[in-house]
Structure formats: structure tokens, C-alpha cells
Structure 1
Amino acid sequence: MAGIRYTQGDATSPQAEGAKVIAHVCNDLGRWGKGFVLAVSARWPEPEKAYRAWYRERARNDFGLGAVRYVQVEGDVWVANMVAQRGVRPGRKNGPPIRYEALDRCLAALGEKAGELGVTVHMPRIGCGLAGGEWHRIEPMILRHLTAKGLHVTVYDADLP
């Protein structure tokens, strides 16, 4: 079983040879403009465009919590837009925006797709920024759905100024 490699750096600039997928969490409101998505958009316009179109056309597709869309941004690099965040603000009744069940479904789907593509997986600490999730709850999902399948995962903690 592969493990998670933790490193300092930018998840939009994966440090690995070969094909890669960069995974991140999106909200279910069609909003894109804060957090890690700013780094994604600064590097490639396609993931944001695909996400917005997916949301806009949601009545005719699978957009919703637990869904994932893969956007090829370079010959051997994909971005996985994973919808695992209900709204964008914490609620008094419902807690932080992260929806762990949805993230679990997203990671299961990512594990299947990453295996098909033969890629390494790269991500920030998904679900822990604006979504308000707790890493001690998210890390076991990554271990179960990705590393237990032999996938190599690198988690990037942003470089501090």
C-alpha cells in the first residue's frame, strides 16, 4: 500500500514524473473565486469554465454533491473538480460547508478514474480551507480510496511567505 507524501509547495505544480491529476473541492452553488481555485484559474482557465458550464447545465447532468468532473489541462495533467461543499459559509445548524459523505463519494470515484488513467494524485489539504473540514476525518478517506489501491498521493501545504 502506498502512503501519502506531504510536502511544501504548490499543488498546481505537481512534483512528479508522468501523468497526474490535481484534486480539489468545489461548492454546490456554482461559485468559483476564493481559495485554491484561484491558483487553479491562474494556471489554467479550463477547470473554471468547465465547472461553471457544468453548474449552469445542472438540470441536464450529474452536478451535485458527490459528483466529480475531470478536465484535461495539459497532455498528461487533469484537474478533478469534486463537489463536496454545501454552500460557501458555515451554517448554525449544519456546521461547516464540507460534506464528508460527498467527499467520500468523490474520492471513491477519483480512485477509480486515477487507476484507469494511471496517474499520481496531487492536492492541497482538500476540504480543510474554506470548506472548514478537519484533516483527521479526510485523511482516512484518502488512504481508503486512493493509497489502498496503490495510488501515489502527494498533499501540498502552501509555501509560507
Structure 2
Amino acid sequence: MSGITYVRGDATVPLGKGVKIIAHVCNDSGGWGKGFVLALSRRWPQPEASYRAWHRDRAANDFGLGAAQFVRVGTYTWVANLIGQRGTRTGSKGVPVRYEAIDTALGLLADRALELGASVHMPRIGCGLAGGKWSRVEPLIADRLLGRGISVTVYDHGD
């Protein structure tokens, strides 16, 4: 089993051929406006519009921690909105990241990636504004995605 491929670059411009899913972590409070989502919104309007509608209609759908929404943005490109953080601020309950929710959402991502024959591309999910530690997220990715034979590329943004 190969490991995660790390590259310097922009995760909204995924490398390689074939179907690609760009995965990122969203909060469970309907907020979209800081961090990696800004890069997504500059490139495509659909992921933000779909996330906002999903949150707005949450009484009638599966929106919540651990859920995943897949938005097609091109012939071979999808964006996965993974709900993996509680709220947007660090407070009395600690940082917003929820590792168990990321783990659950990664399982859904793996199912969709296998169904589509897709590779997965992402920034260091859960480790920016969500306040998570990569040392906790990386093993989840290895278990849920690499463990099922899915190719994963992680992008570190070059300045």
C-alpha cells in the first residue's frame, strides 16, 4: 500500500488524470467564508451554494457532524463537503475539529471515491481554522482511504 503523496500547490487544481474528488472540512453551523473554502468559491460557485442549501434544509436531510456532500464541479471533478468541525471558534470545549466526525465523513468519501473510480485531493483537512493536528488526521486518512486502495494527494499551499 502506498502512502499519501504530499505536494506543494493548490488543492483546487488537482494533479493527475481521471476523476478527482477535492475534499475539505466544513463546520456544522452553516458558516462558509474563511480558509480553504474561499479558494473553492473563487473557482466554483456550486460547493458553497450546495453547502448553504444543505445547511438551510438540515431539518429534512443528513446535515450534521460526520456527513458528506458531493458536488460535481466539472466533467471529472467533484468537491466533497465533509462536516468535521463543531462551530467555528475555539472555546470552552476546545478547538472546533471533531476527529470522529472527520473519520465518519472519510468513510463516506471512500465509498464515493470507489464508486467513481476517483483519486482524492485535499489540503491538510481539519488542521487550519478547525485547529486540528495532522498527526491525528493523517492516520484516519490512511485507514479510511489508503486502506481501501484510494490514491490521496495532500496539498501544502506554496507562497
Q: Please report the TM-score for the alignment, with normalisation by the length of structure 2.
A: 0.99
The residue type paired with residue 102 of structure 1 is A
- TM-aligned CA deviation for residue 8 of structure 1: 0.1
What is the letter of the counterpart of residue 144 of structure 1? D
Partner Cα separation in structure 2 for residue 123 and residue 30 of structure 1:
21
Deviation at 1:2, TM superposition (A): 2.8
**Residue in 2 aligned with 1:67?**
67
- 5+ long unaligned stretches in structure 2: none
Instruction: Indicate the residue corresponding to 1:141 in structure 2.
Output: 140
Q: Distance in 2 between matches of 1:149 and 1:64?
A: 25
> For 1:47 and 1:83, how far apart are their aligned partners in 2?
13
Cα-to-partner distance string for 1:35-70 (whole Å, 9 max, x where unaligned): 000000000000000000000000000000000000
Count how many residue pairs are aligned between Structure 1 and Structure 2.
Answer: 159
Q: Which runs of 4+ in 1 moved over 6 A?
A: none
C-alpha displacement at 1:126, in angstroms?
Answer: 0.2
Q: What is the CA–CA distance in structure 2 between the aligned matches of 1:132 and 1:150, rounded to whole Å?
A: 28
3-state secondary structure, aligned to 2:107:
helix
Percent identical among aligned pairs is 60
Aligned-residue RMSD, C-alpha: 0.5
Matched, 1:8 2:26: no
Kindly provide the CA deviation profile for residues 59-85 of structure 1, in whole angstroms up to 9, marking residues without a partner as x. 000000000000000011000000011
Q: CA deviation at 1:3?
A: 1.4
Question: What does residue 152 of structure 1 align with?
Answer: 151
TM-score by length of 1: 0.98
Using the alignment, how far apart are the partners of 1:118 and 1:3 within structure 2?
Answer: 18
Consecutive unaligned residues in structure 1, runs of 5 or more: none
- Retained in 2: the 8 A contact 1:14–1:122? yes
Asked whether the 8 Å contact 1:2–1:148 carries over to 2, the reply is no
Question: CA separation in 1, counterparts of 2:56 and 2:150?
Answer: 33
Structure 1 equivalent of residue 51 of structure 2: 51
State the AA in 2 paired with 1:61: N
